[in-house]
Structures are given as C-alpha cells and as structure tokens.
Amino acid sequence: MNKRKVLIVLVFTILCSINLWGCSKGQNNKLENKSEAKDAKIKSLKMLSNDAMQNGCSIESGYYTISSSEDEEGNTVQNLMYVDYKTKKQIYLCDKSECNHNTDRCISYIETKYFGRQNSLICDGKYLYLISSEYNNDGSISTSIFYGEEGLTPISEPTSVYRMNLDGSNRILLSEFESGELLGEKILTDGEYIYCISMKNTQAKIDDNTSYTKGDEYKLIKISNESGEKQDVTEWDSSWNILGCYKDKIIINKLEFDHELTVEEKMDQAKYTQACKNAKESIVSYDINTQKFEKLFENEMSDSHQYIMHKKMYFIINIMEIKLCPLI
C-alpha cells in the first residue's frame, strides 16, 4: 500500500473518530446548545450538486435520474426516471398509464434541443430541478471547419432552469439566462434560493481558423426557487473552486497568481505551469449574510494537495502529511 492510500485510510479513521467524539459530548454542553439556538436564525447552506452532468439526485424515499434510450424508430430519447427504494423499481416520472414517453406530451420527456449539453438534476427536498447549460469551455482552443464559403454555426439554446414537483408534475421554466451565459456545476441552496456560479464564454481569435475560449464575467448568483428572480451576490474568479459549505458560509479553494495572466500565458502550457508554481492557494470562506470573505489558510501551490471537507473541518492532504483545520 503506497503512502497516498495510507493517508486516505487515515483520513477516514479521523472522520469516524470525530463522529464518535461528537456523539459522546453533544447533549451535555449547555453553552453549545445556546450557540446552536442562536445560529438557528441564520440561513444554513446545503450542497445540491458537486459534479458536472449530475444525472441523478436522491430523496429519502427514492432516486431521480436522467435516462437515455431509443424509440421504435431508433431515435434517442431522454427521460426523467424515478427509482423507488421500497419497491426497487425504476419508473418514468410520468402519471399517464398509456404513455410512450417519447414526445413532449409526457411530463418525463426531455426535449432534443437539450441533448449534448450539461444537464443537471438536483433536488432541495421541496422541488426537483432540471438545469440545462452549455459547457463551460474556458481555456479551450477550437478550430473552425468551413465547407465552401460558409462555416457551420451551431444553434445555442439559452441556459434554462426548470422546476417541478417531486412527482414530476407542474414543470415550469423557472429561469432563463441571456445568450452565452452559462452555469457552473457547483450548486447550493438555503431553502429559498439556489446559489451557483454564472459566467460567459468569449472567443479570442488566434488566426483565421483558430480561436481561444476565454471565460468572462464570473459571479456568484442566486435564483429564487419560487419566482425565478436572479440576483448577483458577488464577483467571482475562474480559478476559484467551491469545496463545500458550513452553516451560512461557502468554503472556497482560491488560486492566487502574482499577476493577471494573459491569454498567451493561459494558452501556453509551459508558461501556465510556471505561473502556477509562483502562485499561492488559500482556503477562504464567504459568508452569504455579511457578504464578506475570510481567509482561513494559505498554502504554496502544489498539484499534490487534495482538499476534503467534513462537517466543520477540512483536510489538506499531500504525499507526506495530513493537516486538519477547523472552519470555526
């Protein structure tokens, strides 16, 4: 067993110890109970999605997923499905007994215009959401292919957030974004709003046929789960990564360069690697109530670091050591 595997095993051992320690002391500490009562007034955050193309999410009684199949004519069909934990059966999220589930007359059907996109399925316990966005291609290089005098221009659908009841009924378009505006894969909620990162991709031309995709206008936004109203929360940066949340704070891994990188530095692998070596990374919290950032820890940039959050602790892991750091 190599050193990294040993460290991962050790982390899980520590996590179990934390849980046991918390259970043994929880109810007897009156001061802690008073603190918790005070914190009850503060909105608490919950992670709903951590990954791109989160094709499934769960509730206590079952699991929702996006399924792809072929109809009788060989066409690809995508549907919302539900797996019931009790019956151990997967069914279409549709209330019609005689439905082929292959047209928009079925409430489980996903329109073909959303195929080939970043489609995420999330649930906050009250509603189920289907979020469809173009992929964030920040940092990618693309080549245009021309046939004769005209090129191929793909039709881009706007980013859309659909909301429905847990049984799939009453699906509505909750919110729609401007053309070219995308959503990141990390999604949180406080029970009233959905929080996520929005950005826009712009093209920087390299030559007649080649362009570089640059991410612009990164910001943390929130969307009302009732009205769909969008509000800007704070400016963001493409190098910031959401690790998780604790109470009313978003925990962020920030990569901080010693200067603003040019497009050339981002495109050139050697130059970008050198810029990363001179950078620092830090763990930062963002309080959604006070709207303030607080630096918790700073570290030299290293590809060998891994960050794991567990309740009110986060772990910094590299080949040689594990650092355990409290969030409060």
Q: Residue 227: how many CB atoms within 10 A of its CB?
A: 9
Percent of the chain surpassing pLDDT 70: 65
| Diameter over CA atoms, the chain | 78
> What pLDDT shows up at residue 297?
79
Distance from chain centroid for Cα 73: 35
Paired tokens of 275: 């810029």
Measured CA to CA, the distance from residue 328 to residue 325 in angstroms comes to 9
User: Which one, of 181, 320, 311, lies nearest residue 251 by Cα?
Assistant: 311
pLDDT tens digits, one per residue of 106-151: 999 998 888 778 888 999 999 999 998 876 555 455 555 444 444 4
Measured CA to CA, the distance from residue 163 to residue 169 in angstroms comes to 9
Paired tokens of 27: 């109810």
> What pLDDT shows up at residue 301?
64
| Amino acid present at 200 | K
pTM: 0.74
Measured CA to CA, the distance from residue 29 to residue 26 in angstroms comes to 7
Measured CA to CA, the distance from residue 251 to residue 255 in angstroms comes to 13
> What pLDDT shows up at residue 36?
43
User: Which one, of 194, 200, 160, 191, lies nearest residue 177 by Cα?
Assistant: 160
Residues 6+ apart with CB under 8 A from 72: none
Paired tokens of 76: 């690809």
Measured CA to CA, the distance from residue 219 to residue 178 in angstroms comes to 14
SS3 assignment, position 169? coil
In the predicted model, is pLDDT for residue 100 greater than 70?
yes
> What pLDDT shows up at residue 142?
52
Element (H, E) at 85: none
Average pLDDT value for residue range 249-263: 81
Instruction: Indicate the length of the chain as a whole number.
Output: 328
Q: Parse the chain into domains and list their residue ranges.
A: 1-14+247-328, 51-240
Q: Residue 240: how many CB atoms within 10 A of its CB?
A: 17
pLDDT tens digits, one per residue of 279-315: 778 888 999 999 999 988 777 665 555 555 555 555 4
Paired tokens of 131: 């979020």
